[in-house]
Amino acid sequence: MKIAALGLRFFYLNRGFLMDRFQEMQVFVAVAQDQGFSAAARRLGMSAASVTRAVAALEKRIGTQLLTRTTRNVYVSEAGQRFLEDCRMILSQVQEAENSAAGSHTQPRGQLTITAPVLFGELFITPIMVDFLKQYPDVTINALLVDRVVSVVEEGVDVALRIGELPDSNQHAIRVGEVRRVIVASPQYLDSHGRPIHPQDLCQAPIIGISSIGQHRTWPFIDGDEPLNIRPEPRLVVTANQAAIKSAALGLGYTRVLSYQVASQVAEGTLEIVLADFEVPPLPIHVVYQGGRKAPTRVRSFVDFTVKTLREHPALQK
């Protein structure tokens, strides 16, 4: 009995120790994600002092600095980045184990973080998120719709929509479609100025350029079997794809976008695709996520939901 009592006492002491560690991990992840102690404290329902003490205790026990503090911001150190990835994985597995034990392993619940390009997110991912949330009321979603490549690991993203070839990685990817890089102008402009028959014709034409991330001044084409690059000089440069598309539809000239971005305008007849015979090969679209079969139920469910919907969309299958 004495031995059993000592074992039970050790179990409860050890359990408290583990609970402290899990709480420290949760606090560290929140501070890293919010880039601040006060913001993390508000989200966790803790005092800023408690959050500060938890991170300090964690750094002291590990013996390395996980966060770099400035007067305005908090940044994750190089060692902290590696630890952050491990913390997210551990906390996710703990949550999944609890959900499974509670009998909810077949019902998605918890928070999802998703990223996609701005316009793709608005046109395709937003309706998917709304339908998914209606179907699964215990799920919440944080959507990062930005025109930059968001690091899945460093920014704690569960699911990412990627347009273009993927670098080699240990992340799982499912191809759901493809898009073309197209040149468009309004039919009225083309009727007045004539339709180009070769990409070189664009060098003397009014061009609407886009200066956002991922856009290049050089426009690639394929002339027969040979690559052809031209560098048109734009009359108008904008930072948003929608502004360029609107300017082209109003008759200013030509712009270069992805086919899904103008699918509705082409179908309506407000824009027309030109030089299709000179287009470079299309870009693949992938749903990227971590964990594979070990991913939480909410992640696997959202991936399946998204893959099915996007594969059925005609604008992404040509």
Q: Summarize pLDDT for 296-308 with one digit per residue, the tens.
A: 889 999 999 999 9
Encode pLDDT of 3-40 as tens digits: 444 444 444 444 444 457 888 888 999 898 888 898 88
- pLDDT for res 156: 82
- pLDDT for res 14: 47
Q: How many CB atoms lie within 10 A of CB 309?
A: 17
- pLDDT for res 19: 54
SS3 211: coil
Q: How many CB atoms lie within 10 A of CB 298?
A: 26
| Encoded amino acid at 210, one letter | I
Strands 219-223 and 172-179: unpaired
Question: Pick from 230, 232, 235: which is nearest to 250 by CA?
Answer: 235
Task: Tell which phi-psi region holds residue 251, choosing left (phi > 0), alpha (psi between -120 and 50) or beta.
Answer: left
Residue pair 27/44 in contact by the 8 Å Cβ criterion: yes
- pLDDT for res 8: 41
Provide the token pair at 250: 């109003």
- Tell me the longest C-alpha to C-alpha distance in the chain: 97
- pLDDT for res 250: 97
Distances (CA, A) of 262 to 25, 183, 266: 45, 10, 6
- pLDDT for res 152: 81
Mean pLDDT by 10 residues, the chain (318 residues): 44 49 87 87 88 89 87 84 84 71 69 93 96 95 90 85 83 92 97 96 94 73 94 92 96 96 95 97 93 81 95 88
pTM summary value: 0.67
- pLDDT for res 231: 92
